[in-house]
Amino acid sequence: MAFTFTTLKTAIQDYTQNSESTFVSQLPRFILNAEERILKECQLEDFRKYQNGSATTGNKFLSKPTDYLAAFSLSLVTSDTQHFLLLKHPTFLQDYTPDAVSSSLRTQPKYYANWDDSSFLLAPTPNDDYTMELHYFYRPVSITTSTGGTSWLGTNAEIALLYGSLVEAYTFMKGEMDLLKLYNERYIEGLQTLKNLGEAKQVSEEFRYDKIRKPVQ
């Protein structure tokens, strides 16, 4: 059964038998935490997209999209070529370019790193303005804020979303450990089902586009 924001909140209260005002006020937070857990533990093909941005001269930072979750690739695009940057730890980039402001050390970026929630770090620091193409996993609209109170997770990952929310709710309530363990197991089962569906869809699309089709003997 697909969930809307309203029916999911009702289900959480029914399972927990808790209508206390402080608990009810935290329901959106429980759901948001569950959504975040699902998205980080199961990166689906449905949530991949491309976006172009600009790296500017002398600026070692590149802004992330507001719906960014995780990078698949980052490349520098020119009129006839595409150069893929290597993902590294921020300390590697800082060691590689210890003086990021020196104009003599600026050149075409080769590496990138996650700096904070809103920025990538580039190295070397760009010596020119470059078009960057980010292929990334994005965070879909939350069921708590979507128009009509529906979402992809509420429709396609309802089991994982419900039990993930219940884990958050029972943790908040300091509920019985046996029940918390059961809900977490149900969450994991729901997540595995979602992963299996995602993998099946990916294989189906690979056959469709002849990526793994074997020649006829």
89 and 151 assigned to the same domain: no
Average pLDDT over the chain reads 89
**Which is higher by pLDDT, 216 or 33?**
33
Amino acid at residue number 132:
M
**Which is higher by pLDDT, 4 or 210?**
4
Q: What is the pLDDT of residues 146-175, one digit of tens each?
A: 988 999 999 999 999 999 999 999 999 999
SS3 11: helix
Mean pLDDT across 187-199: 86
Q: Flag whether 215 is in a domain.
A: no
pLDDT at 101: 72
What CA–CA distances, in Å, run from 131 to 59, 67, 114, 175?
13, 20, 18, 51
24 and 54 assigned to the same domain: no
Q: Supply the range of the domain harboring residue 89.
A: 45-138
147: alpha, beta or left? (left if phi > 0; alpha if psi -120 to 50): beta
pLDDT above 90 as % of the chain: 75
Whether the upstream peptide bond of residue 124 has omega within 30° of 0, thus cis, is yes
Q: Which residues contact 25 (CB under 8 A, 6 or more apart)?
A: none
148 and 120 assigned to the same domain: no
pTM of the predicted structure, to 2 decimals: 0.77
pLDDT at 199: 60
Mean pLDDT across 104-113: 91
The pairing of strands 111-114 and 86-87 is parallel
**Which is higher by pLDDT, 182 or 207?**
182
**Chain center to CA of 2:** 22
Q: Flag whether 40 is in a domain.
A: yes
**Which is higher by pLDDT, 150 or 210?**
150
131 and 156 assigned to the same domain: no
**Which is higher by pLDDT, 202 or 112?**
112
Which of 138, 169, 197 is the last residue in one of the domains? 138
87 and 57 assigned to the same domain: yes
Q: What is the pLDDT of residues 41-98, one digit of tens each?
A: 987 888 899 999 999 999 999 999 999 999 999 999 988 889 999 999 999 998 888 7
**Which is higher by pLDDT, 201 or 216?**
201
CB 173 within 8 A of CB 23: yes
